Amino acid sequence: MDRNTFTGLFLIMIILVAGFYIIRPSADDIKKAQETAHADSVKKGLIKTPGDAVKTNQTAKADTNQTIDSAVLKTPFGAATIGKQNIVVLENSDIKVNLNTLGGKVQAVELKNYKTFDKKPLVLFDGDGNKFGFSFAAANKDINTNNLYFTQVATSDTSITLRLTYTPQQYIDYVYTLPANGFKLGLTVKATGLDNIIANSKSLNLQWAASLHKQEKDMKQEREFSTVYYKYANDNVEHLTVNGDEQKDATDKEKKVQWISFKQHFFSSVLIAKNGVEKTNVEVKTDVNSLTDVKNMTANVTLMRDAGGAIPLEFYFGPNQFSILKKQGYDLQDQVDMGWGPLKYINRFVVLPVFNFLNQFNWNYGIIILVLTILLKLVLSPLTYKSYLSMAKMRVLKPEMDEIKAKVGEENPTLLQQEYLKLYKKAGVNPLGGCLPLVLQMPIVIAFFRFFPSLFELRGESFLWMKDLSTYDAVITWGSTIPVFGNHISLMCLLMTISTLIYTYFNNQVSGATGQMKYIGYITPLIFFGMLNSYPAGLNYYYFLANMLTFGQQYLIRLMVDDKKIHAKIQENKQKPEDPKKKKSGFAAKMEEMMRQQQQAQQGKKK
């Protein structure tokens, strides 16, 4: 590797580090802002203590500054512009849903069996940033149900009906149903007697928007896994960017959107259209100055009424746990980020089933990761052995390579490589033999890089000093943010980096690496320390275990591999006459032809 190549690689590594540079508020500022936001929600009555399955906020008052204007009352739905903003609670064993009579919408959702990272009630969204309104034209006037008052007309232990009245015989009902357990809230929207009032009454336009609250310790990481997801019927899931703001018209004439998800890192709010969506426009925005809201998400869709005049919908408010999402149907599990390309299939069909199998034993997740790593190392042990053996052969050949280098010199690198290839061929050594097994292992290593950050099961789970395996384990923290490190140092990331440096040292001893390649091996772990310092402790724990188990594997292999026997075998191969019938591999033939052309070009320059 020449100096220019080394410089280029080094600059690429520096760019990677710069890409992970972040500016975060201090931990005290975040905590203070979250406490203030929670207190405001409690004060407004958006977060309540658990109570009856269905209850109405008896303290609700008529909205201020409302005046009854007879002219307004004569307009379409004019009477609905005046009313009381009541909060109606519908809850089961898993979720608590606050319904607001203003707009008839879901005002707030609390997941009862989960807490935020700081052990507070986990409320997905609440407040004025949440909208759910159908828009249509009635008697040449634009109507949006989000701004009109509904009345509660029917109640049971599992359902509530909110009505938007035009006349006693003409109205729109929102029928909410919630089973005794689970994370799904049913909603049937039905217009009665309004076909001659609502223009183009066969379809209704819906705007759904929510400001999703911070639930996890690391706002940056939560934002990196949060955006709008949507899925076409019988097709793959798609999503907007996670790295910034984006707006997209997702309408497709040939296929309907089945569901739209306001996805956070570990929780989602999903709107499922049982009959599909005709038109879809989705948007995600990030207020980088907000300490409490992860992202603002919006969906504008067109929904068709069925033969009975109804629009059947469902909400899913719950965790992004693969097994739970799969039980909901509609392929909701496709929104769990398992990586791209082949990585996705490795995680979904290999790693996840093994993890779920181990999870049945109710072990601590630190133990499960340990067993998972051991199983992986056992499966890959043949490749590890071949890699070590190939590097050992190259180490044994190094004295002869040094002799060739001294004889030929470094002034003609093409000729030097040709002589090396001749030596490899006589000795029966593949110079890429140590690299290929490592390359074959890389997809699995990278797959874990996506698997652990997306694994809901690690959320809030502790092991040893790590209080939460789904986020970083800060051993040292400071108030301000500095490049590379942020505002903390992760102990497990530090241990992983140290073990990688030690592994690199011993690996260099085995392979005989020298010069620039040797130093790149030491620089890379330091770069990855900056990259992984804010990644989940569970991921760094896995990499640490992988390094330690590799030490053990190489120690055992070293006991089995005798350098003297390898040297004797190489010398034996060198004495064998070359078989003229043996065809060269395509790779070897191309390498020899390329070097021959380079040699001719160099000779031409000398002339």
| Sign, Cα dihedral of 35, 38, 42, 47 | negative
Give me the pLDDT at residue 581, please: 52
Give me the pLDDT at residue 3, please: 42
**pLDDT over 60 (residue 15):** no
Name residue 152's amino acid: Q
d(CA 215, CA 223): 11
Give me the pLDDT at residue 572, please: 67
Residue among 357, 351, 375, 356 at smallest CA distance from 549: 375
Lowest-confidence region among 332-336, 396-400, 413-417, 436-440: 436-440
Q: Where are the alpha helices (DSSP H) in 182-321?
A: 219-224
Give the model's confidence band at 43: pLDDT under 50 very low, under 70 low, under 90 confident, else very high.
very low
d(CA 313, CA 188): 6
Give me the pLDDT at residue 600, please: 55
**pLDDT over 70 (residue 361):** yes
The pLDDT tens digits of the residues spanning 521-540 come to 778 888 888 888 889 999 99
Mean pLDDT (the chain) is 80
**pLDDT over 70 (residue 580):** no
Give me the pLDDT at residue 83, please: 85
Give me the pLDDT at residue 542, please: 94
Mean pLDDT of 478-498: 86
Mean pLDDT of 91-96: 95
Q: Where are the alpha helices (DSSP H) in 289-409?
A: 322-327, 342-346, 352-359, 365-408
Give me the pLDDT at residue 45, please: 45
More confident residue, 564 or 170: 170
Give me the pLDDT at residue 374, please: 93
Continuous segment of H or E residues that includes residue 17: helix 3-19
Mean pLDDT of 269-295: 92
Give the model's confidence band at 21: pLDDT under 50 very low, under 70 low, under 90 confident, else very high.
very low
State which of 199-213, 440-454, 464-478, 545-559 shows the largest mean pLDDT: 464-478
Mean pLDDT of 552-577: 73
The pLDDT tens digits of the residues spanning 318-334 come to 999 999 999 999 999 99
**pLDDT over 90 (residue 482):** no
Give me the pLDDT at residue 449, please: 86
d(CA 119, CA 35): 12
**pLDDT over 70 (residue 370):** yes
Give the model's confidence band at 518: pLDDT under 50 very low, under 70 low, under 90 confident, else very high.
low
Give me the pLDDT at residue 16, please: 44
Residue among 588, 599, 515, 598 at smallest CA distance from 1: 515
Mean pLDDT of 44-73: 46
The pLDDT tens digits of the residues spanning 218-242 come to 998 999 999 999 999 888 899 999 9
The pLDDT tens digits of the residues spanning 191-213 come to 888 888 776 667 889 999 999 99
Show the domains of the chain with their CATH numbers: 10-17+356-575 (no CATH), 47-337 (2.70.98.90)
State which of 59-73, 76-90, 505-519, 566-580 shows the largest mean pLDDT: 76-90
The pLDDT tens digits of the residues spanning 101-145 come to 999 999 999 999 999 999 999 999 987 788 999 988 887 788 899
d(CA 226, CA 215): 12
Give me the pLDDT at residue 525, please: 81
d(CA 149, CA 104): 7
d(CA 17, CA 190): 54
Mean pLDDT of 262-269: 95
Q: Are strands 227-232 and 257-263 parallel, antiparallel or unpaired?
A: antiparallel
Continuous segment of H or E residues that includes residue 105: strand 105-115
Q: What DSSP line would sit under 476-531, residue for residue?
A: EEEEEEETTTEEEEEHHHHHHHHHHHHHHHHHHHHHT--HHHHHHHHHHHHHHHHH
Give me the pLDDT at residue 254, please: 84
**pLDDT over 50 (residue 379):** yes
More confident residue, 61 or 168: 168
b/e code 475-512 from CB counts within 10 Å (16+ = b): eeeeeeeeeeebbbbbbbbbbbbebbbebbeebbebbb
Q: Where are the alpha helices (DSSP H) in 259-364?
A: 322-327, 342-346, 352-359
Give me the pLDDT at residue 354, please: 93
Give me the pLDDT at residue 577, please: 66
**pLDDT over 50 (residue 61):** no
3-state helix, strand, coil in the chain (%, to 5): 45, 25, 30
Give me the pLDDT at residue 149, please: 94
Helix (H/G/I), strand (E/B), else coil: 209: strand
Give me the pLDDT at residue 431, please: 67
